[in-house]
Amino acid sequence: MNDYYQDLGVARDASVEEIKRAYRRLARKLHPDVNPGAEAEEQFKTVSRAYEVLSDPDKRRSYDMGVDPFATGGGGNGFGGAGFSFSDVMDAFFGGAAGASRGPRSRAHRGQDALVRLQIDLQDAVFGSEKDLTIETAVRCSTCHGDGCQPGTGLSTCTLCGGRGEIQSVQRSFLGQVMTSRPCQNCHGYGSTISRPCFECSGQGRVRTRRTLTLKVPAGVDSGTRIQLTGEGEVGAGGGPAGDLYVEVTVTPHALFTRRGDDLHCRIEIPMTAAALGATLHLTTLDGERNLDFAAGTQPGDVITLRGLGVTHLRGTGRGDLIVHADVRTPTKLTDAQAELLRQLAASRGEERPAGRVAPTDKGFMGKLRDAFKGV
């Protein structure tokens, strides 16, 4: 029996990655395009055969137990073969009776979906933007174009199953002789083998690479929103179609504005005198400068609503509002002249010794109902 570990120059406990590296190194050295000649071609075949066995967990396990997959004869196990189970009987009667073949299965499989995260600021969330994303995913191998074979070569019909992908055998059971079908151990049900795996992708038909794509971020997204890009995920094995790419958005907190749904909120400080007399203040919004007219007698917590200056509705038309909360500031340090002026104001309003008024924190349902009817 051939020593495949020696052919690749690796230890018997070598990992899959070590086996791949060893094969790539030898394949580049012995490839007929690089090193022409009958001797090099024969060595290349030996190395490719060793890689096909050791890179496959099932074949490697069989080889380590003393069974060379390339030396295994076809035709099944015959009477009393190992591995017979009740599922084989059920398969024979309801799925594979009389040697009915299901045929070889495809090597191409859909790739997995991928998930990346994107951080944007509030401006991008309100108006939308375009962002460049750099991602690392599996893409189709440009050397073999996804079939896993060295250029100029192709898939070889499995010598064990004859391309059927299945091995049929006759088993003796309490029901009599039963014919069953099992996936071929040599080709794993594909019906073909890769005699010369591509040295770039090791026969997988795909390689990992870093690439950049442009993402259009729609207006109105919020933290947790996922944007789906169809066909931009991992390319499947054997040249299979790619999965989807999902981009999860995170919006960084803004220094001035807080988002609540599609409305934006902010607080603006107003001097006590401006709140009492009324004033016009300037506010820099995401849409530019806006004037805010505060009426005389503005109280702490009063709000001014700027319609349509909030976040764009993600599903629908229009935008939310910008709600500005008044934050009336009482001076903490006064000059003697300022204090005297306030005393004169208090005297003119009869507030030298204010008694104060206690108001409930929650008026309850009946209180709110009375207040509602006061304005009627």
Q: How many structural domains is the chain composed of?
A: 2
Looking at the domain assignment, is residue 207 inside a domain? no
- Domain boundary, last residue among 51, 71, 91: 71
pLDDT, residue 300, reads 92
Looking at the domain assignment, is residue 84 inside a domain? no
Q: State how beta strands 192-193 and 114-120 pair.
A: unpaired
Q: How far is 129 from 220, CA to CA, in rounded Å? A: 11
Looking at the domain assignment, is residue 16 inside a domain? yes
Looking at the domain assignment, is residue 240 inside a domain? no
pLDDT, residue 85, reads 39
pLDDT, residue 287, reads 95
Question: Which residues of the chain, if any, have pLDDT below 50?
Answer: 72-101, 365-366, 368-369, 372-376
Looking at the domain assignment, is residue 323 inside a domain? yes
What pTM value is reported for the model? 0.62
Q: State the residue range of the domain holding 321.
A: 258-355
Q: How far is 56 from 197, CA to CA, in rounded Å? A: 12
Judge whether 268 and 292 are in contact, CB under 8 Å: yes
Judge whether 219 and 249 are in contact, CB under 8 Å: no
Looking at the domain assignment, is residue 160 inside a domain? no
| Count of helices and strands (H, E) across the chain | 9, 15
pLDDT, residue 355, reads 63
pLDDT, residue 26, reads 86
* Domain at 10, CATH number: 1.10.287.110
Looking at the domain assignment, is residue 119 inside a domain? no
Looking at the domain assignment, is residue 85 inside a domain? no
pLDDT, residue 75, reads 38
